[in-house]
Amino acid sequence: MLVRVNYMYLCKTNILQMKTIQILIPLFICFLIISCNDGDNKINPINGTWYTYEKTVNLSSEAHSSDAQYLEGRINVYYAGELKDYDITKYYNEETVKTVTALKTEPGKPVSETEFTYQIEGDTIAINDRIYGTVSYRYIITNKIITLYGNLDLKRITDIADQLGIMIPIPQDIKGTIKIKDYR
């Protein structure tokens, strides 16, 4: 008799546990579906700290290709020297990007700091630069490296040359691209 009572107790307990599990599993699945929706809580892939390690331009001119090549060489030599002597760090948050430039020999003493707002749409980042206005770059992120690709028109190329102190005639049909590579 004792064996039969224990058996009935065990069976009723197992049935109760099974019913509880049958109720909890659908509730758990509903919780997962609700918490994994594709709402507005998308993670911004750019947020965080990035360090520039490459910056180059590629320029062309149909009428004055040698002038465009010369200017391209001068700008790229400047950019290479800049990255050799300076650390350029970019801090992205949800709304702004802050760029801090410091000598490699004095990393705690920034020589310049700028902060701009930006927006991301698809594979494009639009930075609201105070000098150039809104500047758009296509970006690709792979293995903790972000590569920015931007188009350069006559005005931007002239501004870059002026900022770098390059005083040469710039062809009116000049155009180009800029590539910036940063790592985390």
In tens, the pLDDT along 106-164 reads 999 999 999 999 999 999 999 998 777 899 999 999 989 999 999 999 999 999 999 99
What pTM did the predictor assign?
A: 0.75
- Per-residue pLDDT at 13: 56
d(CA 158, CA 137): 19
Residue 114, both tokens: 């700028």
Q: Which of 1-10, 56-65, 170-179 has the lowest mean pLDDT?
A: 1-10
- Top pLDDT among 145 and 4 is at 145
Going from the C-alpha of 138 to that of each of 51, 52, 162, the distances in angstroms are 18, 16, 25
Residue 168, both tokens: 């040469």
Confidence class for position 39, pLDDT limits 50, 70, 90: low
In tens, the pLDDT along 9-38 reads 555 555 656 666 666 566 556 555 555 555
Tell me the average pLDDT of the chain: 86
Residue percentage of the chain with pLDDT more than 90: 70
What's the mean pLDDT in 73-92? 97
Q: Is the pLDDT of residue 58 over 60?
A: yes
- Per-residue pLDDT at 99: 96
Quick count: other Cβ atoms within 10 Å of Cβ 87? 16
- Per-residue pLDDT at 143: 87
Exposure string (b/e) for 26-60, b if CB count within 10 Å is 16 or more?
A: eeeeeeeeeeeeeeeeeeeebeeebebeebebebe
- Top pLDDT among 1 and 165 is at 165
d(CA 183, CA 58): 21
Residue percentage of the chain with pLDDT more than 70: 77
Q: Which of 36-40, 77-81, 90-94, 97-101 has the lowest mean pLDDT?
A: 36-40
Asked whether the beta carbons of 177 and 149 are under 8 A apart, the reply is yes
